[in-house]
Structure 1
């Protein structure tokens, strides 16, 4: 990175609060509507996870959702960012595969009658057991045949499963919204938010898309609000700190940076962020549907918590292992981990002369402190983390992801 750009980035970081909250007066003078005062006229925008949630719900619930969505679409109040549609297309088959595998797991293995003891053969009780086993075999045969038939039906759905069929019927082109930024401008905006730690997206640097997905959705939502000059209810099951302030591992309040940016971009409108179950509640849907949505949300959160707990357990094991190492060994392992995942962009990223910066085609730019703290906080002391980060920042201010393979030298 050029020294000029590095100095510019440092200056931006120093004034990160000014970048995140440019309208200081509005922090105290802005008036935000309560959800109950907004929902009757607010626009509704769905996240990907909300489109996927009905795969955990029944047909009766789907029909009720269809009725609500149709009414909102007819009223020109229901919208889906194009990025959400694309993420749905990518993840839909994963949900179907999850259902398909759950069905096949019902095949727990055939029962066996392997009491091969001649001394038992003349007993009436043994003959009674053999007759019962014969009946069981017939029942099992029909049971497994039904499992195969159900699995075959799921495989045959292709793009006509119950959820996708409803969406195909309802979601016309007017429902889809898109931000106006080019791919290059979107990446630059993502880099700016990474640098200043402005949500959303900057905490998703380790995702496959480097966090650009959440940003694309956010910018689409912002432009819709600015164009329509209306409040927006963003419906999402995402509980990550990119969108929420956390309390005891759960979402507490939406990030104020998001609420304030929406207000500024929409001439004073209000943004609400809620779950699907809350949307159903405020629109006074049947209690059975609300309960079904709550159950689906609970299952989704339990899966998330299970992954989170596994990560915590891994950190505990790492902490125990690191405790047995000398300081120099700890530092060496931390740096080895870092360099296996991140590198100086000069190694693999094209340099844009006109813009005076690298094009982060392998993900990034990544901040050394954020990545080291994310991996080793709670494993080693802050003193060691600071020492490693200081060493890394003497090499490079911003980092690229490591490509799967470096291109071979043609010479």
Structure 2
């Protein structure tokens, strides 16, 4: 028998009376003197907001720095360094895909129509559009060139460089073996936070390091803490109906015991902006960005665009020795080498019982068949992107059921989802 597992509740709730007597001060009572500790996802949000939204975020951080209330854990800084290039790569890919989809118009040569006023006007408009398209393409190329020149001087990093001095970054000294032992214990018994990421390469140590930093700095400074984070996974929050409710009780209790009764809250960056009186337009913009990150890709508008971008990135990595052409229309991409041309079409499926739209997929499958038959492609691949791992089961059941219908040596079908680190993951 595993003694620790048998008595795990005694470990999580060492003082039973606290279950009924716990007192958490509301945010409005502690906001003037608490510590605001920032998570990585909050630092990355400005990469997907407007400059106006970022200005309001900058003002909020500046206020907290002035009152000496802002803390950034060392682990958060390191995670920002790791994830920042991915944000810039995504931005570059979005613009590159847009540039690749610019297609010249062609009214065609029809001598019989040259006497028609409408035909002449159409040709004139075509020439004007071509000129505008060329100018637009040049501007996109100039933007891409500037992005290529960014090192650590992109707009977001430049502001952070000015704002975040060394005394805002909190490092705590703890033995690595001790951390590994604690990580193993928490993952074994699903003790928050971090157990949701135990399948990752680092076994979820990032969240644990951030949490240990929160405990250490709050204990050291004898302060309540408001954690600024958009992470809504179930190792931080209780969840219901795809929504976060409130922080895990285990976290609140552990914080109370470590800090001699201080209060712990988790709020999003948009909530922080509201508390500090930011412009409502900026708050709404940040809220939208947070919602896109957290509510599940099937529920926000640009899921299809995001899926295409990430599959493009995945193809660049897996087919690095071949030419990948962004196609204007069906299919989304063409992969070329000296021997063959492969068409790749990205299909996004939204959750629910009818996760597969039979008519929609059959139609695209037949289009792929004719693309091959007409010699436009030698082989074809469908990449099906679903919101989460659970949806993969529905995809597999569908193709198991209709395996004979979609049996073709020249057409393959793969499925995957968007991983926690924002990449396409084939499953």
TM-score class, shorter: 0.7 to 0.9
In structure 2, relative to structure 1, the CA distance for the partners of 1:218 and 1:322 (3 Å cut) is farther
C-alpha distance in structure 1 between counterparts of 2:265 and 2:191, whole Å:
18
Q: CA deviation at 1:112?
A: 3.1
Q: CA deviation at 1:111?
A: 1.8
Match of residue 204, structure 2, among 204, 211, 218: 211
SS at match of 1:185: helix
Match of residue 11, structure 2, among 19, 39, 42: 19
Structure 2 unaligned spans of 5+: 300-384, 403-427
In structure 2, relative to structure 1, the CA distance for the partners of 1:298 and 1:36 (3 Å cut) is same
Moved more, 20-29 or 161-170: 20-29
The answer on 1:311 being equivalent to 2:304 is no
C-alpha distance in structure 1 between counterparts of 2:160 and 2:86, whole Å:
17
Aligned residue in 2 for 1:282: 275
Q: In the TM superposition, what whole-angstrom CA distance separates every residue of 1:119-146 from its partner, at most 9, and x where no partner exists? A: 4455554333322222221111111111
C-alpha distance in structure 2 between counterparts of 1:124 and 1:75, whole Å:
70
C-alpha distance in structure 2 between counterparts of 1:280 and 1:131, whole Å:
50
C-alpha distance in structure 2 between counterparts of 1:156 and 1:94, whole Å:
15
Determine if contact 1:179/1:216 at 8 Å carries over to the other structure: no
Q: CA deviation at 1:101?
A: 1.7
The answer on 1:75 being equivalent to 2:67 is yes
C-alpha distance in structure 2 between counterparts of 1:288 and 1:91, whole Å:
27
Determine if contact 1:44/1:78 at 8 Å carries over to the other structure: yes
Determine if contact 1:54/1:62 at 8 Å carries over to the other structure: yes
Q: In the TM superposition, what whole-angstrom CA distance separates every residue of 1:180-205 from its partner, at most 9, and x where no partner exists? A: 32221111000111122210111211
C-alpha distance in structure 2 between counterparts of 1:305 and 1:35, whole Å:
32
* Bigger relative contact order (CA 8 A; separation at least 6): 1
Aligned residue in 2 for 1:104: 96
Aligned residue in 2 for 1:95: 87
Determine if contact 1:81/1:220 at 8 Å carries over to the other structure: yes
Q: In the TM superposition, what whole-angstrom CA distance separates every residue of 1:278-326 from its partner, at most 9, and x where no partner exists? A: 11112222222212211221222355456873423212234567899xx
Higher fraction of helix: 1
In structure 2, relative to structure 1, the CA distance for the partners of 1:323 and 1:14 (3 Å cut) is farther
Match of residue 33, structure 2, among 23, 29, 41: 41
In structure 2, relative to structure 1, the CA distance for the partners of 1:304 and 1:36 (3 Å cut) is farther
Q: CA deviation at 1:19?
A: 1.2
Q: In the TM superposition, what whole-angstrom CA distance separates every residue of 1:149-189 from its partner, at most 9, and x where no partner exists? A: 12222222221111111110111111111233222111100
C-alpha distance in structure 1 between counterparts of 2:295 and 2:86, whole Å:
18
Structure 1 unaligned spans of 5+: 1-6, 325-411
In structure 2, relative to structure 1, the CA distance for the partners of 1:310 and 1:201 (3 Å cut) is closer
C-alpha distance in structure 2 between counterparts of 1:125 and 1:65, whole Å:
52
C-alpha distance in structure 2 between counterparts of 1:124 and 1:73, whole Å:
67
TM-score relative to the length of structure 2: 0.70
Aligned residue in 2 for 1:371: none
SS at match of 2:393: helix
In structure 2, relative to structure 1, the CA distance for the partners of 1:304 and 1:81 (3 Å cut) is farther
Aligned residue in 2 for 1:229: 222
SS at match of 1:80: strand
Aligned residue in 2 for 1:32: 24
C-alpha distance in structure 2 between counterparts of 1:276 and 1:187, whole Å:
30
Aligned residue in 2 for 1:86: 78
Determine if contact 1:44/1:234 at 8 Å carries over to the other structure: yes
C-alpha distance in structure 2 between counterparts of 1:259 and 1:308, whole Å:
34
SS at match of 2:71: strand
In structure 2, relative to structure 1, the CA distance for the partners of 1:233 and 1:158 (3 Å cut) is same
Determine if contact 2:107/2:122 at 8 Å carries over to the other structure: no
Q: CA deviation at 1:231?
A: 0.3
The answer on 1:174 being equivalent to 2:167 is yes
C-alpha distance in structure 2 between counterparts of 1:313 and 1:201, whole Å:
23
Higher fraction of strand: 2
**How many residues are matched?**
316
TM-score relative to the length of structure 1: 0.72
C-alpha distance in structure 2 between counterparts of 1:322 and 1:201, whole Å:
35
C-alpha distance in structure 2 between counterparts of 1:35 and 1:155, whole Å:
43
Aligned residue in 2 for 1:353: none
SS at match of 2:203: coil
Alignment of 1:107-118 (within 5 A): 107=99, 108-113=101-106, 115-118=108-111
C-alpha distance in structure 2 between counterparts of 1:19 and 1:12, whole Å:
8
Alignment of 1:5-404 (within 5 A): 7=1, 10-107=2-99, 108-113=101-106, 115-121=108-114, 123-302=116-295, 304-305=297-298, 309-318=387-396
Determine if contact 1:12/1:196 at 8 Å carries over to the other structure: no
